[in-house]
Chain A
Amino acid sequence: MEPLVNLTSRVAVIPEADIDTDTIFPARFLLLTVKKGLGRYAFHDRWTVSGVEAPGFPLIPGAADPARILIAGRNFGCGSSREQAVWALHDLGVRVILAASFGEIFRSNCFKSGVLPIVLPQADLDRLQTAGILTIDLATLTVAAPGLAPLAFEIEDWRREALMNGWDDVLVLLKTQADAIAIFEAARRAAAPWLFPTAP
């Protein structure tokens, strides 16, 4: 995973509330079994009407200077757990999403691909929408816009560390938890042996 420490970029704004992951990545494209190159399907049915490009949608694949920061409406990424929603946005170049709240599974999925979801109050987001360019800094946990005082945001320490270092979650778990997992499993096997149909 590509580390994310800080980022300055043009901002795309999709203010609509409750954008679900079916809208971000329509179900029919879930038949693809790859992870890369999914950006062309992001918000597909919002920017094309029967294959014709509808003007004005802020996140269109192939843009010359793609926005790497997205300001979205409340409850962004609700609904289906499909991680393709994150992979598609990442493929478009989006690395940071700001919203008043996120769908829980979507938020968790973001971190796995090096995308940072930032929760800020709607009033702050309304002001940032007009900023045009934002700077995000994970070292100081701030969002800065020209002419505005930097805003602080919070994320879990372990997630911040993983983002800043580009760590792979699976490898970290295996490396740091191996002993604890073995200890837990031994106790679990004793308490619920039917969950362990094979010998240790």
Chain B
Amino acid sequence: MPDGPRTLYEKLWSSHVVRDEGDGVCVIYVDRHLLHEVSTPQAFEGLRAKGLPVRRPETHLAVVDHAIPTRNRGGPISDPQAAAQIALLEANCREFGIELIPVQDVRQGIVHVIGPELGFTEPGITLVCGDSHTTTHGAFGALAFGIGASECESVMAANVLRQTRAKTLLVRVSGAFAPGVAAKDLILAIVGRLGGAGATGYAIEYAGPTIAAMSMAERMTVCNMTIEAGSRTGLIAPDETTFAWLEGRPFAPQGADWDRAIAGWRALPSDSGAVFDQTLEIDAATLAPQVTWGSSPDQVAAIGGRVPDPAAQGSEAAQRKTARAIDYMGLTPGGALEDIAIDKVFIGSCTNSRIEDLRAAADIARGRHVAAGVGAIVVPGSGQVKRQAEAEGLDKVFLAAGFEWREPGCSLCVAMNDDRLQPGERCASTSNRNFEGRQGPGARTHLMSPAMAAAAAVTGRLTDVRKLAV
């Protein structure tokens, strides 16, 4: 680690080194760990088999989000496998002394929504979860990254992980968004620019005036999709926006601790003159709303664009990849994106299910109606988001427009609960992955912002939201 000016990433890293083993390999300390039902059963089983306790139970917080149905929350869960998986998390947390947010609790929700909401996420800490979208929490200036189930076991047993230090990539964003353009469009464009593996091995720091002007919700949307460019870590320096958002939340430091914490957090931003291994400059003012046309998040274009022609791609590998994606998606090379008709709309997921996202979608839905033949659902990210939205009357707006209003969970972001597309169905989705089968075997996903998804819902096809006057 060089002396002199340091990046945010280097500060976070070096303040958590338990042992430096050379060559960038370090044992690093993990301050906090979020758990959900999918990535932890085998980790608990590992502890049990080895007779190990959880070292510091108070550093872990568990919630159910992936497998839980988003309808009929009061009744029993109809899928026996889902019911068993959820019951197992409850039993494991009881056995090992870990706090679990009950399913019926207003604090329940998607792990990457509730962590920040409860102040469990905070600047300057290391935070992990057996989930690749743990990048989300980097929006607070926490060193947050996704891990596998075996690493969850290490964290529960020892609060440490052996890791290799990443290189650093600065993504500097300037320029104000044009009307109708949102944080989701920015991150989709960045992923498109970097490519699906373009940031592998790097920790990204998003900075610049556009990022500094963003709300925490927008910052979380940006950091959330960092993994879609191959990077496990997406950071934004904490600032007054961060502190104001966090103050008073249940897990956040209180009183004298709060003052002391803030003083430390103010020292976290990258020093002027800190050197990054790579830099990417983005002008947000030139961005149009983005949609993905293919089956990986980097296969993205401005809404006014067209499905690419495989023959026009550079390498043979790129030609094959493009052709396969177009075939899977059931599209025609050269077709206008705005001509693509959709069957379903999903507004939700850890990328875009916060109150600001629901407001943006409701602004488009208000006074309009979901197109004939289209099924549209809105799934708030947490019980608290749902309650807030209902206090603002957003549920009424959506229901009047023909959307379904659901209970919090991962829902149609991942085809492992009751919400699932049929083979060949096409969905306008605010989630983060359009992989083959992600929303169900044979399902076709187009990623976009909440406003764009709402626009697609009311017109029945991919639509430039700027053409719908609010």
Contacts and interface: CB of A to CB of B under 8 A. Distances in A.
Interface in B134-184: 146-151, 153-154, 157-160, 162, 164
Give chain B's interface residue range (CB within 8 Å of chain A).
35 or more
A64 interface: no
Interface in B183-239: 196-197, 200-201, 227, 230-232
Given A177-B158, A194-B261, A170 B88 contact: no
Interface stretch (A2-10, A88-96, A100-108, A143-151): A100-108
Contacts of B39: 81-83
A102 to B, nearest CB: 8
A112 B197 contact: no
Given A105-B147, A112-B151, A16 B433 contact: no
Nearest to B67: A31
Given A16-B324, A27-B416, A188-B29, A78 B196 contact: yes
Contact of B158 (A73, A181, A195): A181
A109 B148 CA distance: 6
Interface centre among B46, B56, B79, B150 (most CB of A within 10 A): B150
A169 B416 contact: no
B302 interface: no
Nearest to B154: A170
B82 interface: yes
B372 interface: no
A192 interface: yes
Nearest to B88: A33
Interface in B20-57: 21, 23, 25, 27, 29, 31-32, 38-39, 41-42, 45-46, 50, 52, 56
A181 B154 contact: no
Interface residues of A, number: 56
Contacts of A86: 148
B414 interface: yes
Interface stretch (B108-116, B125-133, B284-292, B331-339): B125-133
Contacts of B56: 198
Given A105-B147, A109-B148, A177-B27, A22 B436 contact: yes
A191 B148 CA distance: 29
A80 B132 contact: yes
A103 to B, nearest CB: 7
A197 B120 CA distance: 13
A123 interface: no
Contact of A181 (B59, B67, B160, B264): B160
Contacts of B317: 17, 73-74
A30 interface: yes
B441 interface: yes
Nearest to B23: A156
A173 B81 contact: no
B200 A23 contact: no
A112 B438 contact: no
B6 to A, nearest CB: 17
A192 B261 contact: yes
Contacts of A170: 46, 50, 52, 150, 153-154, 157-158
B84 interface: yes
A22 B85 contact: no
A28 B416 contact: yes
Contact of A27 (B46, B58, B153, B414): B414
A171 interface: yes
A81 B131 contact: yes
Interface centre among B42, B148, B160 (most CB of A within 10 A): B148
Interface in A183-200: 184-185, 188, 191-195, 197-198
Nearest to A173: B158
A75 B124 CA distance: 30
A79 B435 contact: yes
Given A18-B197, A197-B58, A180 B18 contact: yes
B197 A78 contact: yes
B249 interface: no
Given A16-B320, A181-B160, A104 B85 contact: no
Contacts of A112: 148, 150-151
A196 B58 CA distance: 8
Contacts of A40: none
A105 B133 CA distance: 11
A103 B230 contact: yes
Contact of A23 (B157, B230, B437): B437
Interface in B369-409: none
16 contacts: A18-B296, A23-B436, A28-B415, A33-B41, A33-B88, A80-B433, A81-B146, A101-B197, A103-B230, A104-B230, A105-B147, A105-B148, A105-B232, A169-B151, A180-B19, A195-B59
Top 8 A-B pairs, shortest CB-CB distance: A112-B150, A33-B41, A109-B148, A194-B253, A83-B148, A31-B81, A75-B197, A194-B257
